Every structure is written in structure tokens, then in C-alpha cells.
Amino acid sequence: QAKGRGRNAYRFFSQEMTGEGADQLRLESMLRRSIDNDEIFLNYQPQVDIETGQLIGVEALARWKHPELGLVPPVRFIPLAEESGFINQLGKWVLRESCRQMVRWQEAGLYVPKIAVNLSVRQFERGSIVAIVSSILDETGLEPQRLQLEVTESVIMNTGDAFAFINDLNAIGVGLAIDDFGTGYSSLAYLKQLPVQTLKIDRSFIKDISTDPNDEAIAIAIIQLGKSLNLSVIAEGVETAEQVAFLLRHGCNLAQGYFYSRPAAQQDLFERWKPHSR
Ligand code: C2E
Ligand code: MG
Ligand code: MG
Ligand code: MG
């Protein structure tokens, strides 16, 4: 019966629900208020040139701190935001805050070359992603080349108009990286058709790189693929000196991971990483 009366009726009846479903709904309604309540903030994780030790960019990672729940991890709230559609609001907030932070750093004499921002599939569905990105760039004054959008292979393969959107984003000058590369769709044909600059080797392949021959083979293959297609390749989840040595040995000189730095709050980031002023 409740179903027949649509979403609101469903919601009404679901207040009686207990267990996991009810928890999800409560969490979802808390999440909906998170931006207005100033509970969302960003952490930034350095991306590093292994050979020179220089900061080449940072990835912006969303954080949600609820007054009662404490820190809710992204693996928990991002899927929920995607299901509920809140990701569009959240994604816009993340984009704007990322661009603003880049400008604030620059005003403080800290030049961060590039910021990477994750996009979810739902942000492509509305068709306004290009308009949103370009208006935020206009509003904040960040140069488009200093923004890199990260999308996964599944976003590219499962979004009808992804190619068109990505081409439009490229046309306004923003960069594009394929996140978690190697975990998604197996056809590589799309790579040569897309204006992509960067492949991010998924951290599942980096994790056991020195002990698992299969992971080692996959990582090497991705590095080679990137070279052949003239793309930058960055390794995710780099935690040890052995992994760094492996990457260098195989010609991958960009990395992101706990070995260099955990994601950190804006004010803590540059205790270790001193970007050049420009
Ligand atoms: P991702 O985009 O692949 O981000 C990298 C994740 O790996 C981050 O997890 C980061 O903290 C973690 N990581 C980095 N280095 C290491 C390492 O050395 N070891 C280990 N074990 N982990 C490492 P985080 O921040 O929990 O984010 C998880 C995922 O949530 C992200 O994966 C991304 O898919 C999603 N996410 C985070 N922020 C946003 C956002 O603003 N928008 C969207 N759409 N998704 C986001
Ligand atoms: Mg990412
Ligand atoms: Mg990733
Ligand atoms: Mg990942």
C-alpha cells in the first residue's frame, strides 16, 4: 500500500522500521543537512614526483563529521549520497571548495600546481556538469588547467553521454584522470578516443606489488600502457619504500599514498610539503 502512494508514504511508514533500513534512512537525512550544518570539509593528499620529491598536486577528499556520529568514512556516505541524489549538491560543494582553496593557497604564497577532484556518475546524469565546472572556475578565478577531474572506468562506460561530457570538459581546459584504473571495464579502446591525461593505478595492485606476481604484472602493464599512449601514470596507495623502488624501477615516477602523506587538513598539509611560491 505504502508503495502505491509514492515516496512520501514510503517514508512515513518507514519510520516504523527498525534495523539496517531505518539506520540508512536516518543517516541519509543527516547527510542531507550536512552541508548546511557545516559538517562537510576537505582533506588533501599530496601527489608527489618520486624522483625529485616535489609536490605535483593534491587530491581533494570529502570528509563528513557529524556531531554525534563523529567522522563517517567516504565509503559509507558517498554511496548513500549517490543513491539519494545528494551527490550533486555535495559534488558541487567539493568542486567549489577545492577551487577556492587553490586560490587561497596561492594568495598565501603557496603554489600548488594542480588539484584533483573526484566526480561520481550521478554528476554526469544531469547534463549540467560542464556548466557547473565552468561557472565555478569563473567564480573562483582558478585556471582550468589546474583542475583535474577524476572519474572511474565504470563512470565512463556506464554513462551514456560520458564521451560528450568529457570532451566538453576538455574543451574548457580542465584535465581528466581515470581513477582506480585496472579495476573497471576491460575494454581499453576508449582510452584512445578520450582526451585523458592521467591514469591512476588502483591501490589494490600496489598493495602486494613486491609479493604478488600478478599484481606486479598488472602494474607494469599499466605503466607501459600509459607510456605508449603518452599519459601520466600515478600510483595510488603507496605505503612503503619497496613500492617506491619498484615504481622507479619500472618507470613510474608519480605517486600518492601514506608513504608520502595521509590526507590532511589544509592547515596541516604544508608542514611537510613546502610548495614553491610563484
Ligand atoms: P579514491 O578517489 O580512489 O581516493 C583514494 C583513497 O585512498 C582515499 O580514501 C585515500 O585516503 C586512500 N588512500 C590514499 N593513500 C592510501 C594508502 O597509502 N593506503 C591506503 N590504505 N589508502 C590510501 P578516502 O578518502 O576514504 O576516499 C575513498 C573514496 O571515496 C575515494 O577513492 C573516492 O572514490 C570517494 N570520494 C572521496 N571524496 C569524494 C568526493 O568528494 N566525491 C566523490 N564522488 N567521491 C569521493
Ligand atoms: Mg580519486
Ligand atoms: Mg582511486
Ligand atoms: Mg579507490
ipTM, two decimals: 0.97
Give 173-221 pLDDT, tens digit per residue: 999 999 999 888 666 888 888 899 999 999 999 999 988 999 999 999 9
Q: For position 19, what pLDDT does the model report?
A: 75
Atom of ligand 1 nearest to the CA of 123: 44
What does each C-alpha distance from 254 to 98, 171, 246, 257 come to in angstroms? 21, 26, 12, 10
Cα(173) to centroid(ligand 1), Å: 24
Which ligand neighbours the alpha carbon of 200 most closely? 3
Q: For position 274, what pLDDT does the model report?
A: 66
The answer to whether 115 and 99 have CB atoms below 8 angstroms apart is yes
Q: Please report, rounded to a whole number, the percentage of residues in the chain having pLDDT higher than 70.
A: 89
Confidence category of residue 135, pLDDT binned at 50, 70, 90? very high
If one residue of 50, 118, 150, 258 were mutated to test the ligand 1 pocket, choosing by the most ligand atoms within 8 A of its CB, it would be 118
Q: For position 6, what pLDDT does the model report?
A: 44
Confidence category of residue 276, pLDDT binned at 50, 70, 90? low
Give 32-60 pLDDT, tens digit per residue: 999 999 999 999 999 999 999 999 999 99
Q: How far apart are CA 28 and CA 245, in angstroms?
A: 43
Judge if the beta carbon of residue 257 lies within 6 A of ligand 1.
yes
Nearest CA to ligand 1 atom 25: 61
Judge if the beta carbon of residue 275 lies within 6 A of ligand 1.
no
Confidence category of residue 4, pLDDT binned at 50, 70, 90? very low
Atom of ligand 1 nearest to the CA of 82: 44
